[in-house]
Structure 1
Amino acid sequence: MSQSRKIRLGAVLGGAGGPGEHGAWKEQEIPGNASINIEYYLRQAQLAERGKFDHLFVVDSLYITPDSPPHYLNRLEPFTLLGALAVQTRNIGLVATISTSYEEPFHVARRLASIDLISGGRAGWNVVATGDGGTAKLFGRGQHLEYEDRYGRALEHVQLVQKLWDSYEDEAFPRDVETGTFVDVEKLHPVEHRGKYFTVEGPLNISRSPQGQPVIFQAGDSEYGRNLAGAIAEGVFTHQPTIEAGIAFSRDIKARAEKAGRNPDHVLITPGIKVIVGDSDEHAREIEQYFQDQDADFTRAVKLFGRPFGWHDFNQYDLDAPFPDLGDLGDRDWKTRADQIKTTAREGGLTLRETVERFTAPQPSPFVGSAETVASTLQEWFEAGAVDGYNIHIRTLSQFARFTEEVVPLLQERGLFRAEYEGSTLREHLGLPFIANRHLQREAVPTGT
């Protein structure tokens, strides 16, 4: 392991409880309106920044049903939330989840560039190709694009946004009062894009930031998702259950990046994990069990089980009959997850009840224990090459405080994590290079090459 290699840490901002956390909103220390409470988000951000975290991470989706997780039912829009946090923090990165399926490239480019400028170069974009069934109808469409088109649109979307971010060169605004020159028009480059999914003409009306361009994260584990990660991702948000699975995933993504002509060292694998710190390993497992007991709700689990299948209603079936034949249901939604469920149920001869339990039952997290145990486990996964860092899910402020105050110092003592911020931009935090303007790069290429 390189001595300069450091663990990257993101904080996944928590609210009233996401998938599987049916009882989190009942916790005394979590405000009932946590998901729309800016003061609660700010407290999380301040803890993370005090712990020298690389970035804050906002997960998001658009479509809801009455059975959606509490946090999903009533939460702040990511751009607005990050705008508020940008002026209340000084160092920590700000990453928002934004759909390429239902957002236009110009809007995404402009809003993210604005956050990047407001924050002094701390913005990032978690790219998702929306899988939630029902979302299409929110935008006047009958259904999602076909799976292949969804990811084809995602790739073109990101590449177009990156073109728009390069509309102005870095020194395009001399603002020279003596000569009366506000903008150097030679350094303004209109975009003329005609692709399969988008046609855009004209430049973006905002300048670049101190980091050049926001950092691109990506979430998605299908074959298409992995190809997209290899093509555009600088950080990959994933979930891997074991070190071995993490090593395989990391090698696969980095190999795809290298095949795409990119530097694999500039692709960071940062899974989302749940951490619990206790006075001892046994105490931490007791806390974990308490949370699981609070969340136990099989009736709600059955309702949420339909999400990968476009919120299909599984209550219409006999729970103790064989898992139903669903045909191609889920192919336009969360296809990878839907296919995994159908295959597991079919090959295992499972009933619907057994399948729901198999896929919704809480699993012990490897990152639970005393501060020493948690730090050592984080170190083990990192040094094995399974991860480049972690996105720590925040359930309660008290638990997150224990992580920042007890685990982070141990990582610092071992030389695995920074003691102080060494730069001001998200790219500097993550050890990623500044993105030079493509028009300058072209000018640097000798004629005839």
Structure 2
Amino acid sequence: MSLLFDESLKSIEFLFKHVGIHLDRTILNTAEHVIKFRSLYIINFLWLNTDAIGEILWIIQGALHGKSLIKLTFIAPCINLCILANIKTLSLFLNDDKVKKLFKQLRNAENNINNGDEVVKKKIVAEGKKHLRAVVKALIVITAVTVMLFFVTPMLVMGLEYKKSGQIELVLPFLVAYSFNPYDIKYWPFVYMHQIWGAYLVSIQVAGTDCLFYTCCTSICTQFRLLQNDIETIIPKRNFDENVFQEKFKKLAVRHEGIMQSVIQLESIYTKSTLFNFVTSSFLICLTGFNATALGDIGFMLTFLSFLLMSLMQIFLLCFYGDMIMTSSMEVSNAVYNSKWYTVNPKVAKHLYVVQMRAQKPSKLTAYGYADVNLTSFTKILSSAWSYFALLKTMERPTRV
């Protein structure tokens, strides 16, 4: 019976259903299956990227026509997030076989846990579930607030302008280049809703793929902790039987190898999107922070502050869970040391020593080999973001004089 993974997966499946990704379903390469299970994803992909292309064109036109730095950077974070959402969902979409293989590995690991102290095991699993629920809820709430602010802020701006001047000046959430006038009242309501649904798609794609990442990492870390508990208690206080030990040890060695393979599989699915995430996060945080401080309108300032919080949380949690996997894999070495290895003969102790030495080389996730996914990388991203932010503020000051 699955302890954690299936329960956690069910709680985030709704995020993917809205996008059109079916994580746990076998989809054949037939016209019927493609239409039934892929059409929503394709429609959402086209819907989202029409606005993304329009935003890129707006920046190009704005730069050619001498738009201010504030206006040019206003839409840049949104473009970055659109591209990130595309890469993250495409990573799942194109690695469908690897995703299903990972799910199978995690379920097998949870279903092949040795019998032992059930109280301790339930406590370890409960801690993993509790932490994961809190993180997923916080991310979903912040994402929902950000989308809501993008929806509401233009309405508030129009309302305040009407109160001040008695005239309605139509405003849109994002600056997008169209082949028609989007501020014409005939088109404006449709363009407005199109942009908001695009913002929702971006947010739900990033949040969904990240929540799946957290779920897999939590399951892996929980398995490492359960393995540590079993290793620490593999040698009984009395009545040691070498044959019984050998049988238990083989099972633990297979479990250890299976958990490490799960990390490798997770790495192969997310490594390319993580690289893009790492490379662009400094710019995203920098530009979002710049907009939050440079915009005079309090509505848009609050919108970008929530955007900044979401961006910081997203990259922090990515690094945090990567760090958790590294730490929990290395703690297997401590578990061997905490076992009663000193009470057994050299042959048995040698088996434990091999596991201890292997565990000292951490299982880890990387950004396509460019950098390890851990909290050290997060501090480097923040440092780079601050440098870029300071440079932008310096460039902005002359334009205000």
TM-score per shorter chain, which class?
A: under 0.3
Structure 2 length as normaliser, TM-score? Answer: 0.23
Structure showing greater radius of gyration is 2
Structure with more helix by fraction:
2
Structure with more strand by fraction:
1
Structure 1 length as normaliser, TM-score? Answer: 0.21
